[in-house]
Structure 1
Amino acid sequence: MKKIFILSALAFSLAAVAQNQKQAMTKPKTTPNKAVVYQVFTRLFGNQNTTNKPWGTIEENGVGKFNDFTDLALKEIKDLGVTHIWYTGVPHHALVRDYTKFGISNDDPEVVKGRAGSPYAVKDYYNVNPDLAVDPAKRLEEFEALIARTHKAGLKVLIDIVPNHIARKYEGKTNPAGVRDFGADDDTSVEYKRDNNFYYIPGIPFQVPTSDTYKPLNGEKNPLIDGQFSENPAKWTGNGSRLARPDINDWYETVKINYGVRPDGSKDFPQLPEGFAAKEVKAHFEFWKDKDVPNSWVKFRDIALYWIEKGVDGFRYDMAEMVPYEFWSYMNSAIKAKNPNAFLMAEVYNPKEYRNYIHLGKMDYLYDKVETYDKLKEVIQGKTMPDPISDIQNGLADIEHHMLHFLDNHDEQRLASPEFAGTPEKGKPLMVVSATISTSPTMIYFGQEVGEPGKEDAGFGTHSRTSIFDYIGVPHHQRWMNGGKFDGGQLSQSEKDLRDFYKRLLNFTVSSPAVPSKFVDLQKVNREHMSYDAGLYSFARWSDKQKMIVVANFSWLKDSFFELRIPAELIAQWKLRDGNYVLHENLYGRRHALLKVVGGQGTATISIKPSESFVFTLAD
């Protein structure tokens, strides 16, 4: 815990002022209004094995199961302040393990990344990863039981759908009646046909990519490693490569889905009418009812509805911008017709396309990666001042609620890694700003809350990211898991303090009426004063029920002591008369400040340590 001290500005009348500001000293009791997504790599979560041999097998390195998400584990996740769990890697994807006795074909290691395989090379959308089941023959039943346990814990369930590409060897072994596999009815003699599920390179067979530096399974012998993979004609690769022998850096383990976009980029399907960006999701659903759409559209809509029927509450869409937004209008409106509260989030990395995918594609949330995330990373690495964070927030003002915030996920370097923030403590002010600056959901990645740095060499891939391709244990997370007790019994004191910080912060954000409200930049008015150091960042959010001021010190070297200025315009909007007001600090409830309003201008004396943040509220 941080050392307690009282600001000298409070010494003279804090008790009297606090009596008049009783509401400001009380944490708001409201229903949750901000979502918190806990991304968990399902294969890794419950694994207690600490061997961590590079390229290790399940027998050597272990693997987590659906059953590891016990009632107690889910309660602890819920108590962290979480509202939704994204179970990453649930759909059955290609992997190197023999499950033939369960009717599952073996996958060729030459078109599988790592040993455990990429969760984004889905092999069967109507079943789940057999690695995750105690009894692979009952793997679907075990996941259905997990859905029920998660709902019982008061949490919503999210899983992946990857519409842009699937595994090179897709085999639906448990398809519902009437469902045909991808490509089963394709005309393979042509590069493109609207209702083909794939793009083809007619007359040329697929050739396994080669590399001087990479060997499947790290050179281990395997009867399927023979330089051959049966695919004739070759299909386009998932990232759009049109080579029969894709490059080793391509998404060679996947094939691209055809959505009725011709090879020249033109669209071969109905277009949304003018003005449909302003239409509600119901109008989009009605529009598509009588339209003839490409076969791949229907296949993915049916996959999504299958999982909705099983109780899944929403989806995370991989690389959504590689699929036309008209398809998303069709898909998402069908989902919302079944479940109006479905939670739909997606990877879209082109800011110019954000509004198309939100308004026309009917996405609920998009990754705010290339703006807020990237800028926060630059700030903590000393590459830029924090001031542009406000410019980003103002530029996204019309869609801010749709821009999901995160600092850690399976694709990115771990927040606590040397390649990102350097330490978990240096990541704390980033987390405070990321979680409170916007009305949008916050996402954290399992292990982030206990400072996991991603140091392990799992095999395929590089350190600083927890491997999604191999069987591996996650050390910091395992210490919190504590042999299935889920009580943090093996954590160091600093790791316990870090998780306590996340718990306090996330629970505040889901209950605060100020977070889903108006954003006001405080940088400009404060940057004019010499005492306001370069590493400081401050802003306000407020509603009729709560007024909030956030101050973060991105510096890890320097204490700061300064007068925080609150502009007259904001003081007027808050309808504060001249006088003294207590600012209650919400993360720990110990470091209060005094807001003085004189002549309509507000000031508060702030003393803040390196990597420290304050979340102040002044309630009506």
Structure 2
Amino acid sequence: MYKAYLSPLLVAVLMGCSPAPESAKDKEDVVSNEERLSAKPRPVIYQMMTRLFGNTNTNNQPWGTIAQNGVGKFADINDKALAGIKALGANYVWYTGVPHHAVVADYQAFGISPDDPDVVKGRAGSPYAVKDYYNVNPDLAEDPGQRLAEFDALIARTHGAGLKVMIDIVPNHVARRYESISKPAGVKDFGADDDTSQAYARHNNFYYISGQAFEVPDGVQPLGGEVHPLADGLFEEMPAKWTGNGARSAKPAGDDWYETVKINFGVRPDGSYDFPTLPADYADKSCQAHLQFWQDKDLPDSWHKFRDIALYWTARGVDGFRYDMAQMVPVEFWSYLNCSIKAENPNALLLSEIYIPEQYRDYIRLGKMDYLYDKVGTYDALRAIVEGKASTKILPALFNNMADIHSHLLMFLENHDEQRIASPQFAGDPRKAMPAMTVSSLVAGGANLLYFGQEVGETGAGDAGFGKASRTTIFDYWGVPAHQRWMNNGEFDGGLLSKEEMALRDFYRRLLNLAANEPALQGEFADLHMANQTTPGYHDQLYSFARFTEQHGVLVVANFSSQQVQTFELLIPPGVVAAMGIRNGEYPLNNSLNPGATVSLKVSQGEGKLSLNLAPLESVVLKVR
């Protein structure tokens, strides 16, 4: 593992002293970098559950069919919808659930084999049980026979709106019955050439449980108990394969990922590697060097299959990928895959779902990931503060520990796996997370994520069938009420939103546009919280920090209290004042989060002071330069 490091400038700031003078070359490099960063917005990713996004049906019957509950289509995501997404500050759209996954609906008329409800979660199926990586979910097309052309058209519309396209790739597992009817000539399905007599073989795509047939887990009740010709508690698979989460039983448990099977990347059952490992110094080498390392190696078959899949979608215009459960796949594979993608599209955005902080640096430096989920860290900490289970005093050490990788972290407070902020199981009120969202969006130099409906306070209420309340279902056909009010029957103008919902969306619009476009947010970070522990009126329901480059700087202060007005004088230590290039004097500062509101910064003898009066849940982002 890599040790965390701090840049010389940040070390100086945290020590409360002025930074060392720069050489002419150092300054030239900084300015050049600043110009580069100023020209390129930070990624703000709008995630939608594509099946749900355009659905105007409000029936919401548990376990409802498409006819009963409706389904969103690619065509529903029109120019108005995309303009509304872009207005929020987004520059990427992550279309979740696009690759063709196992579904219950009957598409045999289009040459698609039926899927067995005994190994499909929900009525609509899990987006993470992919059945055909070379086509898209037929549910999403107005004409399932032209589903790929309809998605191509959506890619073109998205690009035309000034947005980039992301989809999921799920290397760790596929649907229990993978069957691509759309694969290019010469491509073979996963498992087609496997030696199923072997529990493990290097070029097998799956792991096998020799001599045993798969059994449906106890307690599985597909379709909520509805009668279906294939829902008979049986699924033919002989020999049984390992389940997606690594369960090695022919009869997995009901809470295992029983609808999926695990992919073999050349990791033996004892955990040892059956492929070359990257030398440690490759952490500092380019993708070109990584590809040169791999080009003469005999690699497991699954590596090549996923490379071909990723390059297929790259060639169709997809601009990036979100990798599901990347931590369950070896780092070396990511080096091979990501550098293969970058060779075709150097600007591709590669995002990893990962929950093991000890592995973050390997996945960034050896695996060549652009961004990693910061769930076990910033999300968990901010949620605890919002719920009143912790105070902001936990944040300085957390952010210091990520100082060397903060530009590679994805920040979020919602996604399809997490409970909705407005649900009773989280905050119960979407406004209570406004200060947390301010900190989350501005504290690091990486990417930001907004989950559809979050910006209008969707509660995730209602048991949809397999999907339960507090998380908007990813398994069922469903309407998303607050989002539907913004959608306004396809007008996408917010015409049905309440005043409170409109105000919340406007907050997200201002915040995320700032997050995408403020150059200071791609520079250094300095905590102000610890320096203000003895400041009268300042306490641990407040959090403050500075972000700055050589030419730009902001001060951010967030009030997490939902009840108290906070009045205090914020101290800006001499080290931060010097690092931000502020001289003695008085400066009116504009609140970029609420333009028109100004406060006065007074700098005397190198120390800054700022009188603030923050309403409950209010945040300020004060532009210094």
The two structures have a TM-score, normalised by structure 2, of: 0.93
Shift of 1:30: 5.0
1:182 aligns with 2:190: yes
Within a 5 Å distance, the mapping from 1:213-228 to structure 2 comes to 214-228=220-234
* Shift in Å, 1:32: 3.9
Code of the aligned partner of 1:165: H
Distance 1:222 1:393 in 2: 52
**Do residues 447 (structure 1) and 453 (structure 2) align?**
yes
What is the identity, as a one-letter code, of the residue corresponding to 2:128?
Y
Structure 2 contact 71–477 (Cα < 8 Å) conserved: yes
Unaligned segments of structure 1, at least 5 residues: 1-28
- Aligned residue number for residue 593 of structure 1: 599
SS of 2:128's equivalent in the other structure is: coil
Distance 1:345 1:556 in 2: 34
Paired residue type of 2:44:
V
**1:327 Cα offset (Å):** 0.5
Match of 1:311 among 314, 317, 342: 317
Instruction: Give the residue type in structure 2 aligned to 1:313.
Output: D
Equivalent residue in structure 2 for 1:489, among 487, 495, 509: 495
Partners of 1:52 and 1:472 within 8 A in 2: yes
Task: Identify which of 574, 578, 591 aligns with 1:572.
Answer: 578
Contact 1:92 1:128 in 2 (8 A): yes
> Are 1:388 and 2:394 counterparts?
yes
The one-letter amino acid paired with 1:72 is K
Q: Decide whether the 8 Å contact of 1:416 with 1:423 is kept in 2.
A: yes
Counterpart CA distance in 2 for 1:154 and 1:246 is 45
Deviations 1:146-184 (A, max 9, x none): 011111111110000000000001101111000011101
> Aligned in 2, Cα 1:597/1:197: closer, same or farther, shift over 3 Å?
same
Q: 1:598 to 1:274 in 2, by over 3 A?
A: closer
How far does residue 272 in structure 1 lie from its aligned partner after superposition?
A: 1.3
Contact 2:393 2:540 in 1 (8 A): no
Does the Cα contact within 8 Å between 1:115 and 1:470 map onto a contact in 2?
A: yes
Aligned AA for 1:218?
A: G
Which residue in the other structure is 1:241 paired with?
247
- Structure 1 contact 33–516 (Cα < 8 Å) conserved: no
Contact 2:327 2:355 in 1 (8 A): yes
Asked if 1:539 is matched to 2:554, the reply is no
Partner SS, residue 133 of structure 2: strand
Distance 1:542 1:351 in 2: 26
Aligned-partner Cα distance in 1 for 2:483–2:368: 35
Between the aligned partners of 1:561 and 1:274, the Cα distance in structure 2 is 51
The aligned counterpart of 1:92 is 100
Alignment of structure 1 residues 155-194 onto 2, 5 Å: 155-194=163-202
1:249 to partner: Cα distance = 0.3
In the aligned structure 2, how far is the partner of 1:69 from the partner of 1:390?
41
Structure 1 segment 556-571 matched on structure 2, within 5 A: 556-571=562-577
* Aligned: 1:520 with 2:526: yes
Give how far 1:525 is off. Answer: 1.0
Corresponding letter in the other structure for 2:183: N
Post-superposition Cα deviations, 1:580-615, rounded to whole Å, max 9, x if no partner, equal 111110112132111111222211110001111111
Instruction: After superposition, give the CA deviation of every residue in 1:261-320 in whole Å (9 maximum; x if it has no partner).
Output: 000000001121241111011111121112110000000000000000100011000000
Q: Are 1:46 and 2:54 counterparts? A: yes
Confirm or deny: 8 A CA contact 1:585 1:614 kept in the other structure.
yes
The answer as to 2:465 corresponding to 1:459 is yes
2:22 is matched with none
Q: Which residue of 1 aligns with 2:33?
A: none
C-alpha contact 2:590 2:622 (8 A) present in aligned 1: yes
| CA drift at 1:390 | 2.1
Q: 2: distance between equivalents of 1:99 and 1:545?
A: 58
Give the Cα separation in 2 of the matches to 1:165 and 1:193.
17
Please provide the CA RMSD for this pair. 1.1
**For 2:453 and 2:500, how far apart are their aligned partners in 1?**
14
Taking the aligned partners of 1:136 and 1:177, their CA distance within structure 2 comes to 22
Cα distance in 1 for partners of 2:279, 2:605 equals 54
Identity percentage over the alignment? 60
1:534 is displaced (CA, Å) by 2.3
Corresponding residue for 1:25? Answer: none
Measured in 1, the distance between the counterparts of 2:579 and 2:269 equals: 55
TM-fit CA distance, 1:533: 2.6
Q: Supply the distance in 1 between the matched residues of 2:507 and 2:336 (Cα, whole angstroms).
A: 41
Q: Tell me the distance in 1 between the aligned counterparts of 2:563 and 2:596.
A: 23
Distance across 2 between alignment mates of 1:357 and 1:552: 32
- Give yes or no for contact 1:533–1:560 (8 Å, CA) kept in 2: no
2:584 & 2:332 partners in 1: Cα distance?
55
- CA shift at 1:474, angstroms? 0.3
Q: Is the 8 A contact 1:63 1:471 kept in 2?
A: yes
Amino acid at match of 1:98: D
Report the Cα distance in structure 2 between the residues aligned to 1:45 and 1:274, rounded to whole angstroms: 44
Q: CA deviation at 1:575?
A: 3.3
State yes or no: 1:361 paired with 2:367.
Answer: yes
Match of 1:609 in 2: 615
Q: What whole-Å deviation, never above 9, does each CA across 1:34-61 have from its counterpart, x for those lacking one?
A: 1100001000000000000010000000
1:64-463 to structure 2, matched below 5 A, reads 64-211=72-219, 214-463=220-469
Per the alignment, in what secondary structure is the counterpart of residue 462 of structure 1? Answer: coil
Rounded Cα–Cα distance in structure 1 between residues aligned with 2:123 and 2:185? 32
Q: Confirm or deny: 8 A CA contact 2:322 2:350 kept in the other structure.
A: yes
| 8 Å Cα contact 2:570-2:609 kept in structure 1 | yes
The SS at the match of 1:221 is coil
Amino acid at match of 1:190: Q
Q: Does 1:554 align with 2:552?
A: no
Q: What's the offset of the Cα at 1:529?
A: 2.5
What is the rounded CA distance, in whole Å, between the counterparts of 2:284 and 2:352 in structure 1? 20
Map Cα deviations across residues 336-393 of structure 1 (whole Å, 9 max, x no partner): 0000000000111100000111111111110000000000000111111112222111
Cα contact 2:92–2:166 (8 A) shared by 1: yes
Q: Is the partner of 1:173 in helix, strand or coil? A: coil
The amino acid that maps onto 2:213 is P
Q: Retained in 2: the 8 A contact 1:571–1:602?
A: yes
Cα distance in 2 between the residues matched to 1:537 and 1:95: 46
Letter of the 1:110 counterpart = D
Cα–Cα, structure 1 residues 583 and 256, in superposed 2: closer, same or farther, change >3 Å? same
One-letter amino acid matched to 1:394: N
1:10 counterpart residue number: none
SS in 1 for 2:392: coil
Q: CA deviation at 1:422?
A: 2.0
Q: Hey, what's the Cα distance between the residues in 2 that align with 1:579 and 1:68?
A: 55
TM-score normalized by the length of structure 1: 0.94
CA contact (8 A) 2:569 2:611 kept: yes
* One-letter code aligned to 1:205: A
Instruction: Quote how far apart the aligned CAs of 1:435 are.
Output: 0.6
**C-alpha displacement of 1:545:** 2.0
Shift of residue 512, structure 1, vs aligned partner: 0.7
Please give the secondary structure, in 2, of the residue aligned with 1:86: strand
Partner of 1:484, secondary structure, is: coil
- How many pairs were matched up? 589
Q: Match of 1:81, SS? A: coil
Deviations 1:520-571 (Å, cap 9, x if unpaired)? 1001111122411321000001112221000101111211100111111112
Kept in 1: contact 2:49–2:96 (CA 8 A): yes
CA contact (8 A) 2:79 2:161 kept: yes
CA distance in structure 2 between the aligned counterparts of 1:327 and 1:117, rounded to whole angstroms: 28
My pick for the range that moved more, 338-347 or 539-548, is 539-548
